[in-house]
Amino acid sequence: MALNRKIAYVNLTTGEIKTAPIPVEMRQLYLGGRGLDMYLLYNHLKPGVDALSPDNVLTVSAGLLVGTPASASARTHVGAKSPLTGFVGSSNMGGFFAPELRFAGFDHLVVKGKAPSPVYLWVHDGEIEIRDGSKLWGEDVPTTQDLIREELGDPEIKALCIGIGGENLVRYANVMTGIKNAAGRSGTGAVMGSKNLKAIAARGTQDIAIRFPKEALEYNAKLLEHIGSTKFAQIMQKWGTMFIYGVTNTTGLVRNRNFQSNQQVGGNIECEHIEEHALGTEGCYGCIIHCRHKYMIRKGPYAGTYAEGPEYTSQGAFGMEVGCNNFETVLIGNHLVNKYGIDTLETGSIIAWAMELYEKGILTDKDTDGLKLEFGNDEAMLEMIKRIAERKGLGDILAEGPLRAAKKIGKDALKYCIQVKGMSNLHSDERPTPSLALGIATGSRGSDHLRSRPAIDLYHLPEKVLRSIYGGPKPYDGPLSSDYTSYEGKPRMVQWHEMLYEAIDCTGVCKFHSVFLSPNLIAFDELSKLIYHNTGLEFTPEEIWDIADRAYTVERLFNLREGLTRADDWLVDRYFDEPTPVGLPIVRGKTLDRAKFKQMVDEYYSLHGWDETGVPKPETLKKIGLDQEPSHML
């Protein structure tokens, strides 16, 4: 059955491996994927451990619906205590690894300890081996996967791995699979590196029995017809997420030159330029959209290099933020971070920050070893990517992440850093958009666009439509506003998306098939049907909300245990003190209002059943079944 998959506990220090079934009771509480991973971290991690020590715990999982007929059910979740923030480390990626893990008989891996020398895990049809990974150490992301397939003699093996960024303990190193699928933002790649774990390879031939196969196939076909008919899917099939740039940059909702402007003028990084380089498009397991491009770099020192992407995030990281206007530069930057296995957003943001510090004289030529770290200097930006991955010179400092780097640099460095909870913000400017600002301020893993972002708030949807979305599945009759510059009703939007994205991550379905960038895709009603047809588990939309609420509250409890306070659910002063200088009239001259923002945080806490300090109330914990945690049921 779709539920008949195991959990494995691997101790790299002792070599001990234990497996166990996953009780249906745990499925009913957390479903799987991110939700169950967060439960495992909360139960298996001691408070206060060093994230780069053997005491950290790494979880790798497939969502509940992965490998079933459910559309785009391919997501892998990777969890740990984040070496970047010290809070929840939680990362999600597409590709083909998670289905292969399920076909091999496992849904969750819990990895503890540290191997005495480099190793990789080999997961195959109910068995797990710890194998020598010495010859893989030092290899880049694509080569590592090729070498594993060559060694094991099977071209169908799927693997996740780290590059030199993870080996060198760059605190925002990614876990990668394929060419560009990245479990990013949280530094889980550095956790693997700290454990001498280079890769996890999987190959399986075990069937996944679907509870109601006829109904599952029919319902999925209906969903696919609907998804494929949407304008959003059609645009994504042609341009991928790069299409977002044209609208956000024209409006003035992006970060340019770190945080000095909110619009890139005279740029050359629009999505249409991919046509000069594209070799077709690629998709993840079970997905009809195929939203990422396969491309070839055509000229310069990287001419002939094959890569995949770039996402809108790379346009921002290696274009807008650093003031570079060359599309080839974006393509090369995207290739380099994926090859080295470091986070696109964090890398671009921290280089942009360093460029502003250089501009202001806080960093000098001596600090940069003569590198002219100026906005718009493509070569300097690309060189810094390499220095960060290799931890050379200033790159060694920047590899520590913004808060640690600011402490080492000193002076007024922290003042210019755009971060939340120690995680750099992505390439968006939320000063004109209170809902998006609240989402990044309160996100459980730091400044984030994938945990609670109500992106459809930008569409000026009629209030009637907003009410149809945000009025359930848990009743809400409070205010809602179609004006994205308004503060009214935005906490509900953030909470609603928080719950939906948590549920989506528990199932392993891609967010692009959900109400993320389109208001008429999968939400709680559809998840209820998908889960029932494929697994036989019966949940109402309200019960799925409760599961998401439970899992998200575990993340909150984890962070509180690690020292989180209300002060961490806030934004840096520049959001409140520096008006947006350019853009359309609706966004120009905007700052966030401190008093109104505080009221939004208060309302957000209240919606969650948390007190004024952001701590879940005892009655809230009892209501959602967390008053006895940690319970150690798994």
Average pLDDT over residues 327-340: 97
List the helix and strand counts (H, then E) for the chain.
23, 17
- Does residue 603 have a pLDDT over 80? yes
- Same domain membership, residue 579 and residue 507: yes
pLDDT, one tens digit per residue, over 353-364 is: 999 999 999 999
In a domain, residue 591? The reply is yes
Domain termination site, one of 419, 445, 472:
419
Q: What is the per-residue pLDDT for 596?
A: 98
- Same domain membership, residue 199 and residue 57: yes
pLDDT, one tens digit per residue, over 112-140 is: 999 999 999 999 999 999 999 999 999 99
In a domain, residue 215? The reply is no
Question: Whole domain around residue 132: which residue ranges?
Answer: 6-203
In a domain, residue 72? The reply is yes
pLDDT confidence tier of residue 267, bands split at 50, 70 and 90 = confident
- Same domain membership, residue 171 and residue 35: yes
Peptide bond preceding 310: is omega within 30 degrees of 0, i.e. cis?
yes
Backbone angles phi, psi at 462, to 5 degrees: -60, 150
The single-letter DSSP state of residue 174 is: P
In a domain, residue 363? The reply is yes
Q: What is the per-residue pLDDT for 137?
A: 98
- Same domain membership, residue 199 and residue 147: yes
Q: What is the per-residue pLDDT for 2?
A: 78
- Same domain membership, residue 329 and residue 411: yes
Domain termination site, one of 355, 386, 419:
419
Answer yes or no: pTM beyond 0.85. yes
The single-letter DSSP state of residue 165 is: H
CA distance 417 to 131: 42
Backbone angles phi, psi at 76, to 5 degrees: -100, 135
In a domain, residue 208? The reply is no
By the 8 A CB rule, do 494 and 454 touch? yes
pLDDT, one tens digit per residue, over 59-71 is: 999 999 999 999 9
In a domain, residue 129? The reply is yes
How many Cβ atoms are within 10 Å of 257's Cβ, its own excluded?
18
How many separate domains does the chain show? 3
- Same domain membership, residue 496 and residue 410: no
Q: Comparing C-alpha atoms, which of 301, 285, 286, 292 is closest to residue 271?
A: 292
- Same domain membership, residue 400 and residue 523: no
By DSSP bridging, strand 306-308 and strand 292-296 are: antiparallel
In a domain, residue 515? The reply is yes
- Same domain membership, residue 558 and residue 603: yes
In a domain, residue 217? The reply is no
CA distance 583 to 576: 18
- E strands of 82-174, at which residues? 88-93, 106-112, 119-124, 127-132, 158-161
Q: What is the per-residue pLDDT for 93?
A: 98
Domain termination site, one of 393, 419, 445:
419
Q: Comparing C-alpha atoms, which of 71, 102, 30 is closest to residue 502?
A: 30
pLDDT, one tens digit per residue, over 412-445 is: 999 999 999 999 999 999 999 999 999 999 999 9
pLDDT, one tens digit per residue, over 521-542 is: 999 999 999 999 999 999 999 9
CATH number of the domain that 479 lies in?
A: 1.10.599.10
CA distance 37 to 186: 14
By the 8 A CB rule, do 111 and 60 touch? yes
pLDDT, one tens digit per residue, over 145-190 is: 999 999 999 999 999 999 999 999 999 999 999 999 999 999 999 9
- Same domain membership, residue 356 and residue 456: no
Q: What is the per-residue pLDDT for 184?
A: 97
- Same domain membership, residue 125 and residue 12: yes
For helices 490-507 and 434-442, angle between their N-to-C axes, nearest 10 degrees: 50
pLDDT-above-90 percentage for the chain: 98
Using DSSP, state whether 514 is helix, strand or coil: strand
- Same domain membership, residue 395 and residue 443: no
Average pLDDT over residues 387-407: 98
Q: Comparing C-alpha atoms, which of 540, 557, 558, 432 is closest to residue 56?
A: 558
CATH number of the domain that 124 lies in?
A: 3.60.9.10
Contacts of 231 (CB under 8 A, 6+ apart): none
pLDDT confidence tier of residue 266, bands split at 50, 70 and 90 = confident
Average pLDDT over the chain reads 97
CATH number of the domain that 249 lies in?
A: 1.10.569.10
- Same domain membership, residue 180 and residue 61: yes
By DSSP bridging, strand 197-203 and strand 119-124 are: parallel
Q: What is the per-residue pLDDT for 1?
A: 61
- Does residue 102 have a pLDDT over 90? yes
